[in-house]
Amino acid sequence: MKYTKTFYLGVINGVLFNMSAALAGGTTVLPTFVSNLTSSKVLIGLSGTMAMAGWFLPQLVVASYIETLKRKRPIYVWAGVIRIIAIWGIALSVSLLGATGAAAIIVLFFALYSIYVIAGGVAGIPFMDIVAKEIKSENRGTFFGARLFFGGIAAALMGFVVKNVLATRSFPDNYAFLFTTAAAIITLAILSFCFADERDALVPVRRTPFKKFLRRGPSLLKDVKSYRMFLAWRVLLGVWMMALPFYIIYARENLGLPEETVGIFLSVQMVGMIVSNLLWGRLSDRVGNRIVLNLTAMVSATAPLIALLATVAAPLRGVAGFGSVFFFVGFAMSGLRLGHSNYMLDLAPESERPTYLGFMNTFIAPVMLLSAVGGLVVEMTSYVTLFAIALGASLFALVFGLQLEEPRRRPGSP
């Protein structure tokens, strides 16, 4: 059988998570939700990329802890339980506190969402390790592509739900409905992967002392050029992501587009994800992930470029014209997710896979919080400055991406 039980459960898990991300997504719904509670661009920006920061932040400690565990699924299960409790807490707090509890809602939201995304980071390395063990390298492009492709279709349909809910219900009932639905879907997503198969891994006999473990990260940067170049590439794409929460806020504040266009832009973004996966998965499986990373850097430059042109070109200021920004955001984000994960799995030796992943993701974590800095850039200068920074970061990422090796071309690789 070409595809395993873990393959199918992982795809189901990805589809459900993409659906939930559409209902409570960091580039559309969450920034708009927070903007209804506060005018602070810093908090609005922070809400947009907290999920990615939380995913990356705890992974160094997790990598050290699970280094000697032959099976990592129990860690995934316990982290999943914490995530389920936290996301239901957000849904209930918005439902129960109502329009009069804005201050309490925003405090509870950021507290519970922090727990949710950090627990996601704890689950991240066990998830990736299981995928690496149970799904062959030449099938991983199809695996991640299927998660994003079918998840993108489901998420695009959820975009119409978001549009309808925001247009027909008042605040905060509209967001209470979206968060409650997202919480139910997330619960199913986490439970589905808890039943994945996992074989014993090749692991060190003894856990490396944490101080010695910490020294491994700088040595990887020094000794492995592609690891070093990939970190630079990923940091620059993190700078590009700094602008993501602000495209929708710019559309509302500067272009005068109504709040329900959030659902339209969300669907357009998912279409970009769906279309791109016809390319990314095939390239990953048949050619390798280096080309996926470089094409992603090129495509990512398109979104901030269109946003900059919209400041002077009237045809780009409407729903159709500015919607193209979100199409290319979806196109680039799917390449980023698929290429990042697969390249790291190809680059890392099996015995050191948690170490490679843990250090890389921890190095990246602070960059994921730059959206808060993006809020300061907007408050102190303008949206134009922020979009220009994002454009420059994309172009520099391409420079570093061109210096990466293709791990599959090593002797003995498939």
Q: What is the pLDDT of residues 136-174, one digit of tens each?
A: 777 777 887 788 788 888 888 888 888 888 888 888 888
Q: What DSSP letter does each residue of 13-41 carry, written as one string?
A: HHHHHHHHHHHT-TTTHHHHHHHTT---H
When computed from its CA atoms, the radius of gyration of the chain, rounded to whole angstroms, is: 20
Q: What is the pLDDT of residues 212-262, one digit of tens each?
A: 666 766 777 677 788 888 888 988 998 998 888 889 888 888 888 887 788
Q: What is the dihedral of CA 131, 142, 359, 292, to 10 degrees?
A: 170
Among residues 332, 310, 311, which one has the least CA distance to residue 321? 310
Region of 98 on the Ramachandran plot (φ > 0 left; ψ -120 to 50 alpha; else beta): left
Residue-level pLDDT at 182: 93
Residue-level pLDDT at 210: 67
Give the tokens for residue 298: 């090129």
Q: What is the pLDDT of residues 49-62, one digit of tens each?
A: 777 777 777 777 77
Helix (H, G, I), strand (E, B) or coil at 257: coil
User: In the chain, what are the domains?
Assistant: 8-197+209-406 (1.20.1250.20)
The lowest-confidence range among 48-62, 104-118, 166-180, 365-379 is: 48-62
Among residues 228, 232, 250, which one has the least CA distance to residue 240? 232
Residue-level pLDDT at 12: 93
Q: How many CA atoms lie within 13 A of 152 on its CB side?
A: 25
Q: What DSSP letter does each residue of 195-234 carry, written as one string?
A: T---PPP---SSPPPHHHHHHHHHHHHHH-HHHHHHHHHH
Place of tokens 């280096």: 290
Residue 207 binned pLDDT confidence (cut-offs 50, 70, 90): low
Are 345 and 14 contacting, i.e. CB atoms less than 8 angstroms apart? no
